[in-house]
Amino acid sequence: MSKFPKDFLWGAASSAFQIEGAWDEDGKGMTVADFNSFKKSDKQADSKVAADFYHRYKEDIQLMKELGLKAYRFSISWARIYPNGEGEINQKGIDFYNDVINTLLENNIQPLVTLYHFDLPYQLVEKYNGWESRKTIDAFAKYAETCFKEFGDRVKIWQVHNEQNLMIRVDERMNINVDDSYTADKIRAQMDYHMFLAHAHAVNLCHELIKDAKIGPAVSSTCTYPLTNKPEDVWAAKMNDWFKTNYCLEMHTNGEYPGYYLRYLKERNIVPIMEESDTTILKNAKIDYIALNYYRTLCASYLPVDEQNPIGSRVFRGNVVDFDQYGYFRDEKNENLTASEYGAQIDPMGLRIVLNDYYRRYHLPLIITENGLGTADVLTDDEKVHDQYRIDYIQAHIKACADAIEDGVELFGYCPWSVVDLLSSHQGYKKRYGFIYIDRTDFDLKQMKRIKKDSYYWYKNIISNNGESI
């Protein structure tokens, strides 16, 4: 008997700017993701074409049907609905997503929709510096309300922000362009708070407008091991998890900053401006589940303060995602794990730990909305992709899911990243994740033929027997 529930949502995932293309077609506005990709156009692929899902979605959904997907997790581009982020609705954007949703349902694939996946409309940056202004909260609430009214009769599972806890650490995604680290941290804290408020507005609107819907955050999950068994290293590992992920989940579940995070904000003198009425909005926003993205685990040691680095100050690492925090933690290499060619340490056991930790801590159902191996796949002369390394990776992580379910975790779905090869923000089309190969390079679109990888046929079998063959 399968360890997975009979109604388990075997799926796959993508995001709008990484798959759709048609970046300015049919009234769509430019996004922060577009703007940042164009800055790298001489070095790698940008978002102008991506996987061309905008024109090929019917073909791609047929491939999803043949794969046997029960669910497809994708994002709506805010700037395709509101090209300026606010103001007039773009009906052609509504029509496109209506057709995508209807086509999925016709093929018995449940749509799981993310409202915001790294692609803030650029007009909001130019007008308000994006999330630094409360006006962007109002714009997002209106956008969310529009999506719920237009699509809520068919879409019943929603995520609000994708990886707010990670996005807020990447300056280019937030349009933070200052050299002074204190000023950057102050702006970042205000933006983060405004995103929490926007998230709460969306949760409350969803429950008001779609009575049978479920909504929650999609976080970048973190599991950190101590470098040694020194008590301060053990504490540092916990702090690394709390500051990079758990503070975000605690804000979503409790409607207020946890004490350790508020202390940090005070230490740095960067407590965001809050209004009295915000408390009610945040407290009323009761999420229904937690979506998590899992790729790796981390390792940490204690990092003491020094004369140049006061408590709470941060130093960001070269990969633009991780940071060390003085008086708290320093990221270290875990010598017990191997890593992908792009540096992510591979650790299926960490997924089991994360699933158990979040379920015991927050007592909410869970779904995995991203998990996958990015690497440079090779297309053979006979148009095949032999990606046994991806099969091994995903199989080990599905096994971790099965173990977590036996541990008592309420896990209701698994959506690997990604359904097709899509645009990587930092490696273009050199780094591929998909079950389906897109025959293009960074600078040669070719015919963009869709080619099923070995992992496609393997995952199809997993879905067909509900994970029994793991």
Q: What is the pLDDT of residues 228-277, one digit of tens each?
A: 999 999 999 999 999 999 999 999 999 999 999 999 999 999 999 999 99
Alpha carbons 439 and 437: distance in angstroms, whole number: 6
Please state, rounded to an integer, the average pLDDT across all residues of the chain.
Answer: 96
The residues, any chain, with a CB within 8 Å of residue 39's CB and separated by 6 or more, are none
**Where does 9-464 sit in CATH, by number?**
3.20.20.80
Residue 48 burial class via C-beta count within 10 angstroms: exposed 0-12, middle 13-18, buried 19 and up: middle
Give the pair of three-digit tokens for residue 164: 């707010």
Residue 424, strand partner residues: 428
Report residue 160 CA to chain centroid gap.
10
**DSSP letter, residue 51:** T
pLDDT value for 318:
63
Q: Are strands 314-316 and 323-325 parallel, antiparallel or unpaired?
A: antiparallel
Does 370 qualify as catalytic in the annotation? Answer: yes
pLDDT value for 1:
54
- Report the interhelical angle of 181-209 vs 134-151 (nearest 10°): 30
Does 256 qualify as catalytic in the annotation? Answer: no
Q: What percent of the chain has pLDDT over 70?
A: 99
Q: Are strands 436-438 and 450-452 parallel, antiparallel or unpaired?
A: antiparallel
pLDDT value for 176:
87
Q: What percent of the chain has pLDDT over 90?
A: 92
CB of 195 closer than 8 Å to CB of 160: no
Query: What pLDDT, in 10s, does the model give residues 408-424?
Result: 999 999 999 999 999 99
Alpha carbons 191 and 76: distance in angstroms, whole number: 21
The residue-averaged pLDDT of 392-398 equals 97
Give the pair of three-digit tokens for residue 184: 């950057």
**Hey, how many other C-beta atoms are within 10 angstroms of the C-beta on 209?**
14
Query: What pLDDT, in 10s, does the model give residues 180-206?
Result: 888 999 999 999 999 999 999 999 999
The secondary structure of the chain in percent helix, strand, coil, rounded to multiples of 5, reads 40, 15, 40
pLDDT at 147 over 80: yes
The residue-averaged pLDDT of 165-180 equals 88
- DSSP string for 153-214: TT--EEEEEE-HHHHTT-HHHHT---S-HHHHHHHHHHHHHHHHHHHHHHHHHHHHH-TT-E
Domain ranges of the chain: 9-464
CA distances from 108 to 101, 154, 183, 464 (A): 11, 12, 49, 14
Query: What pLDDT, in 10s, does the model give residues 414-453?
Result: 999 999 999 998 899 999 999 999 999 999 999 999 999 9
**DSSP letter, residue 27:** G
The residue whose two tokens read 């993701």 is: 33
Among residues 370, 383, 406, 410, the one annotated as catalytic is 370
Confidence of residue 319 (pLDDT cuts 50, 70, 90): low
**Hey, how many other C-beta atoms are within 10 angstroms of the C-beta on 448?**
15
Cis peptide before 37 (omega within 30 of 0): no
Confidence of residue 124 (pLDDT cuts 50, 70, 90): very high
128's enclosing H/E stretch is helix 122-128
Alpha carbons 90 and 29: distance in angstroms, whole number: 10
Residue 290, strand partner residues: 366
Among residues 20, 163, 250, 332, the one annotated as catalytic is 163
pLDDT at 343 over 80: no
The residue-averaged pLDDT of 15-34 equals 97
Q: Please, which contacts does 443-451 make with residues 24 or more away whose CB atoms are closer than 8 Å?
A: 443/45, 445/49, 448/49, 448/51, 448/52, 448/56, 449/383, 450/56, 450/59, 450/60, 450/63, 450/420, 451/379, 451/383, 451/384, 451/385
Across 370-390, b (16+ Cβ under 10 Å) vs e yields: bbbbbbebeeeeeeebebeeb
